[in-house]
C-alpha cells in the first residue's frame, strides 16, 4: 500500500496502453484512410470481419460455461423461473418505451418532410434483399429455430438463443446429479477460465478490427452519403442519448447507481462497439465486467444473451424513427391509428429478426410490409447511412442490456447499492 502511494506511476497504466485509447486512435486512422484512400479503405474490410469472427467464436462457449455454472450452483432453482419472468417483463416495458420515444421525436423533428433523393440501383437491390428476408420470418419458425438440430449444432449456428437453451438444460441436469455435480462444475469453471484467457488475447486485436471496419465504411459510402440524411442521423443519435441519460438514467438511479459511472465502467466495450459496429464484439467483455460488479453468474448468463434478442433498445428507436422518416420522405400520410399499428408490429418484428444478418434492417422491412402506404423499396434511401447508424444502435443495445442486468441483480438482492457504487468508483479495465 505504501509502495503504491510513494510510486504512483507504477500503479497506473500508461494512457496509450488503455484499450479504449488504442481503439479511438484506430477509428480516427480508419476514417482518414477511408476518406483519402477509399479503394485502400475498402480493401481493409477483412481486418474488421476477421476480428468480429474471432470474437463470435468465443461467445457460445463463454455463455455456455457462465449459464451452466450459474444454474448448477443455484440452491433455489425456483429463482430461475422468477428471474426469467422479471427479465422478460423488464425487456418488454423498456423496449416499448424506446419505440414510443422514437415515434415522438421523429414526429416532432420531421426529418423526412420535403426529402428528395434518388437511390442507386445497387441500393434498391440491397433493400429488396432485406425485404425478401423479412417475408420469410414468422413467429412459429422463430420459436422452432431456438431448438437446435443437435446439441452441438447450437454452438455451430452462431445464434445465442439455441446456446442459451442447451445451457439451461445442461445446468438443470448437473444440478440433479447430487454429489457427482462437484467435479463437473470444476471442469466447467476451468473451461470458462480458458475461454476468457483466449478472449484476452483476441481483444488485443481490437484496434486492427476497428481500423479495418471504419476504413471500409468511410471508403465505400463516404461522407457524401450523409449530407441529405444528416437530419435523420442527428435525430436518431439525439434520441438515443436522451433514452440512455433520461430513461435508463432514471432506472439506474432508482436501482441505486449512476448511469454516467456505469458508462465510464464499460467504456472499453463502448469504444469497441463504436469501432466495429457490432454489439456482439463486446458481449464477453461486458459479461465479465458485470460479474465483477457483483451480479450473480446465473443472472448475467440469462439476462445478457436473452437481451441480445429481446431487449434491443437502440434497434427499436431506429425502427420507429426510420419507418416514420420513410413515410415522410415518400409523402405517405400515417394517422395515429397507423402509427399505433406500426408500434405494435415493431414490438413483434424486432424480436423475430434476432439472429438474422442485418437484423435491424430486416425488422424494419418486416414492419413496412405490414403498414400500408410505405413502399418497402423506400428502404433503399437508408442503405447508404445504415452502417453509420448501426454504431448508435449497437451502443444503445449494449448499454440497455448492461443496465438491465444490474437492475435485475438489484431486484434479486445480489448486490447492494453501496457495493455497486464502490465497484463503479474503482473500475478495472481490460
Per-residue pLDDT, 101: 93
Residue 80 scores a pLDDT above 80: no
Mean pLDDT calculated for residue range 366-389: 70
Mean pLDDT calculated for residue range 387-393: 79
Output helix, strand, coil percentages for the chain, rounded to the nearest 5: 80, 0, 20
CA distances from 74 to 165, 296, 404 (A): 17, 10, 20
Mean pLDDT calculated for residue range 329-353: 72
Per-residue pLDDT, 405: 94
Per-residue pLDDT, 3: 40
Query: By C-alpha distance, which of 348, 342, 290, 346 is closest to 143?
Result: 348
Residue 15 scores a pLDDT above 70: no
Q: Which of 152-161, 218-227, 365-374 has the lowest mean pLDDT?
A: 218-227
Q: How far apart are CA 360 and CA 318, in angstroms?
A: 8
Boundaries of every domain in the chain: 16-425
Cβ contacts of 107 within 8 Å, gap of 6 or more? 324, 339
> Where does the pLDDT of residue 23 fall: very low under 50, low under 70, confident under 90, or very high at 90 and above?
confident
Residue 73 scores a pLDDT above 80: no
Per-residue pLDDT, 125: 55
Per-residue pLDDT, 355: 42
Per-residue pLDDT, 357: 41
Q: How far apart are CA 299 and CA 89, in angstroms?
A: 15
* Cα dihedral 258, 411, 248, 294 sign: positive
The enclosing H or E element of 429 equals: none
In this prediction, what percent of the chain has a pLDDT beyond 90? Answer: 13
Per-residue pLDDT, 262: 95
Per-residue pLDDT, 5: 39
Mean pLDDT calculated for residue range 36-53: 86
Mean pLDDT calculated for residue range 378-399: 78
Residue 88 scores a pLDDT above 90: no
**Which CATH superfamily includes the segment(s) 16-425?**
Sodium:dicarboxylate symporter (1.10.3860.10)
Per-residue pLDDT, 148: 87
367 vs 25, residue with greater confidence: 25
Q: How far apart are CA 156 and CA 351, in angstroms?
A: 21
Q: Which of 109-123, 277-291, 415-429 has the lowest mean pLDDT?
A: 109-123
> Where does the pLDDT of residue 366 fall: very low under 50, low under 70, confident under 90, or very high at 90 and above?
low
Per-residue pLDDT, 369: 67
Mean pLDDT calculated for residue range 62-75: 79
Report pLDDT digits (tens) over 321-335.
888 888 887 777 777
> Where does the pLDDT of residue 138 fall: very low under 50, low under 70, confident under 90, or very high at 90 and above?
low
> Where does the pLDDT of residue 13 fall: very low under 50, low under 70, confident under 90, or very high at 90 and above?
low
Report pLDDT digits (tens) over 246-262.
999 999 999 999 999 99
Residue 336 scores a pLDDT above 90: no
Per-residue pLDDT, 348: 65
> Where does the pLDDT of residue 227 fall: very low under 50, low under 70, confident under 90, or very high at 90 and above?
low
List the grid coordinates of 417.
447499492
Q: How far apart are CA 324 and CA 339, in angstroms?
A: 8
| Three-state SS at 373 | coil
Per-residue pLDDT, 135: 52
295 vs 427, residue with greater confidence: 295
Report pLDDT digits (tens) over 169-205.
898 888 888 778 888 888 988 888 888 888 888 888 8
Q: How far apart are CA 180 and CA 375, in angstroms?
A: 60
Per-residue pLDDT, 244: 95
What pTM does this model have? 0.74
292 vs 306, residue with greater confidence: 292
Mean pLDDT (the chain) is 79
Amino acid at each position: 500500500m505504501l509502495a503504491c502511494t510513494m510510486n504512483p506511476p507504477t500503479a497506473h497504466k500508461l494512457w496509450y496502453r488503455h484499450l479504449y485509447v488504442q481503439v479511438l486512435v484506430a477509428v480516427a486512422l480508419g476514417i482518414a484512410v477511408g476518406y483519402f484512400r477509399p479503394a485502400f479503405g475498402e480493401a481493409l474490410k477483412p481486418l474488421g470481419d476477421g476480428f468480429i469472427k474471432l470474437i463470435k467464436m468465443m461467445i457460445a462457449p463463454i455463455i455456455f460455461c457462465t449459464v451452466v455454472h450459474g444454474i448448477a450452483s443455484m440452491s433455489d432453482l425456483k429463482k430461475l423461473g422468477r428471474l426469467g419472468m422479471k427479465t422478460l417483463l423488464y425487456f418488454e416495458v423498456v423496449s416499448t418505451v424506446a419505440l414510443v420515444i422514437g415515434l415522438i421525436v421523429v414526429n416532432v423533428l420531421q426529418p423526412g418532410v420535403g426529402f428528395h433523393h434518388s437511390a442507386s440501383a445497387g441500393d434498391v437491390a440491397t433493400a429488396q434483399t432485406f425485404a425478401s428476408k423479412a417475408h420469410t420470418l414468422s413467429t412459429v419458425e422463430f420459436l422452432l429455430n431456438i431448438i437446435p438440430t443437435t446439441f452441438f449444432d447450437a454452438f455451430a449456428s452462431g445464434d445465442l438463443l439455441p446456446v442459451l437453451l442447451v445451457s439451461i438444460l445442461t445446468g438443470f441436469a448437473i444440478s440433479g446429479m447430487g454429489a457427482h455435480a462437484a467435479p463437473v462444475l470444476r471442469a466447467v469453471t476451468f473451461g470458462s477460465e480458458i475461454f476468457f484467457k483466449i478472449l484476452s488475447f483476441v481483444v488485443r486485436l481490437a484496434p486492427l478490427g476497428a481500423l479495418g471496419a471504419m476504413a471500409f465504411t468511410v471508403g465505400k459510402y463516404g461522407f457524401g452519403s450523409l449530407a441529405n440524411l444528416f437530419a435523420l442521423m442527428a435525430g436518431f443519435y439525439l434520441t438515443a442519448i436522451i433514452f440512455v441519460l433520461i430513461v435508463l438514467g432514471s432506472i439506474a438511479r432508482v436501482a441505486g447507481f449512476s448511469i454516467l459511472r456505469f458508462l465510464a465502467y464499460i467504456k472499453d466495450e463502448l469504444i469497441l462497439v463504436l469501432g466495429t459496429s457490432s454489439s456482439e464484439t463486446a458481449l464477453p467483455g461486458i459479461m465479465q465486467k458485470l460479474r465483477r460488479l457483483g451480479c450473480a453468474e446465473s443472472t448475467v448468463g440469462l439476462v445478457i444473451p436473452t437481451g441480445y434478442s429481446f431487449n434491443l433498445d437502440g434497434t427499436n428507436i431506429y425502427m420507429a424513427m426510420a419507418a416514420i422518416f420513410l413515410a415522410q420522405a415518400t409523402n405517405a400520410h400515417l394517422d395515429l391509428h397507423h402509427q399505433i399499428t406500426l408500434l405494435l408490429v415493431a414490438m413483434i418484428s424486432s424480436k423475430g429478426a434476432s439472429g438474422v444478418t442485418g437484423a435491424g434492417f430486416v425488422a424494419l422491412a418486416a414492419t413496412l410490409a405490414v403498414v400500408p402506404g410505405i413502399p418497402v423499396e423506400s428502404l433503399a434511401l437508408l442503405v447508404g447511412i445504415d452502417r453509420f447508424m448501426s454504431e448508435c444502435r449497437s451502443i444503445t443495445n449494449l448499454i440497455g442490456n448492461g443496465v438491465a442486468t444490474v437492475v435485475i441483480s438489484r431486484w434479486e438482492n445480489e448486490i447492494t447499492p453501496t457495493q455497486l457504487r464502490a465497484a463503479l468508483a474503482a473500475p478495472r479495465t481490460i
